Amino acid sequence: MAVATVTLPRSAPVRRPLAGLGTLYLRRLRVTTKTVSGVIGQFLTPVLWVLIVAPALDTALGGFNPSIDYFTYVAVSQATFIVPFTAMFNGLNVIVDKDFGVLREMLVAPVRRPLIPLANSLGVLTIAVAQVVVILGLAELRGAQFHSSPVGLLWLFGAAALLTLGIYGIAEILALRISRQEAYGPLIPAIGVTPYMLCGALFPISVLPAGIEALTKLSPWTHALAVMRHGMMQGTDSGLGDIWGLGSETAMAALSLGVLALFAAGTLALAVRTFNRTTTA
């Protein structure tokens, strides 16, 4: 069949395995931070925690252990409050993409499908890391006594990153399975915040009832917080001893980081699997 052709269609280009990842990542970041209210929302909570809630807790509860600067103690722990909440909250964006159909455009793009949830997770990770920087920066300005080093910062950001990725994996799975914002919404505080109460954020897990303490040792929140305190409060009780009971802080921190790595890899792998199953009939 003869057709007048001005521009010949080109053949399909060979695409690199990670082609499209950067574009998907930047889109996710842009969607999350597109509006002023979105940006303020992401950073208002950490600012309030550090400037108001943490000092108040210091005043009310600070005397429980004279060897610990309680303000610094709870300032570090705010990362385990903010990061999971951010990860869970961003699951809503997955539902929005499904509801408004933008996901369908991505599904017919010449990118490998696992890159779509992975790009989402990297976008959330970027925001979470920025939040941790804000928390610790403001805490430092407000008088927190951090004892750290470049290696200590690596422990901190390593734990924060793995906790973010692990919880975002859960968020992506739930968002793909649930598909309704009103059903997903109540899970945000349930999963994003409740474990924070029991991870040693406000008090050592050793003061919990024995059964609860044993359970908290399985929680990624507990491992992440202990590694963060190991990185930022060197020379004080990080909580790693309560989890592992070993002699070497570094070895225990490495073990906890390993737990977090398994957690992140496991939930992200499940998220990719769920994504493939729920988006292709």
Binding site for another protein (CB under 8 A): 1-13, 15, 19-20, 23-24, 27, 30-31, 34, 100-102, 104-112, 279-281
* Nearest distance, CB of residue 174 and another protein, angstroms: 21
Q: Which residue, 20 or 166, has its beta carbon nearer to another protein? A: 20
Q: Which residue, 120 or 216, has its beta carbon nearer to another protein? A: 120
Task: Please choose, from the candidates 83, 229, 103, the residue with its C-alpha nearest in 3D space to the C-alpha of residue 162.
Answer: 83
* Nearest distance, CB of residue 128 and another protein, angstroms: 21
Q: What torsion do the CA atoms of 187, 188, 189, 190 make, to the nearest 10 degrees?
A: 30
**Contact status, residue 158 vs residue 223, Cβ threshold 8 Å:** no
Q: How far apart are CA 92 and CA 46, in angstroms?
A: 20
* Nearest distance, CB of residue 217 and another protein, angstroms: 40
Q: Which residue, 16 or 235, has its beta carbon nearer to another protein? A: 16
Q: Which residue, 31 or 51, has its beta carbon nearer to another protein? A: 31
Q: Helix H segments across 100-201?
A: 102-107, 115-142, 150-178, 181-184, 187-192, 194-197
Length of the chain in terms of residues written = 281
Q: Which residue, 32 or 216, has its beta carbon nearer to another protein? A: 32
* Nearest distance, CB of residue 100 and another protein, angstroms: 6
* Nearest distance, CB of residue 277 and another protein, angstroms: 10
How far is CA 152 from each of CA 34, 133, 149, 228, 233, rounded to the nearest angstrom? 33, 14, 5, 8, 9
